[in-house]
């Protein structure tokens, strides 16, 4: 993703169906995160792992 002059690098590690949305495991700023989305792609939950 790119926003303004700051670049943010997100590395998706895995994803799987979760309810009506997706569960995504990713790496962001040298930390690993787990998030879930609804059917429209909106993030419902974000946890640092």
Q: Which residues make beta-bridge pairs with 46?
A: 35
Q: What is the pLDDT of residues 1-49, one digit of tens each?
A: 445 556 667 788 899 999 999 999 988 878 899 999 999 989 889 899 8
| pLDDT of res. 41 | 87
27 in Cβ contact with 39 (< 8 Å): no
| pLDDT of res. 1 | 46
Residue appearing with tokens 């303004």: 4
User: How far apart are alpha carbons 18 and 23 in whole angstroms?
Assistant: 5
Say how far residue 38 (Cα) sits from the centre of its chain: 12
Helix H or strand E segment including 45: strand 43-48
| pLDDT of res. 7 | 65
pTM confidence score: 0.65
Query: And the tokens for 46?
Result: 């974000």
């Amino acid at each position: 993703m790119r926003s303004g002059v700051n670049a943010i690098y997100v590395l998706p590690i895995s994803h799987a169906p979760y309810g009506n949305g997706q569960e995504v495991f990713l790496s962001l700023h040298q930390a690993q995160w787990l998030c879930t989305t609804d059917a429209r792609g909106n993030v419902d939950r974000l946890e640092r792992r």
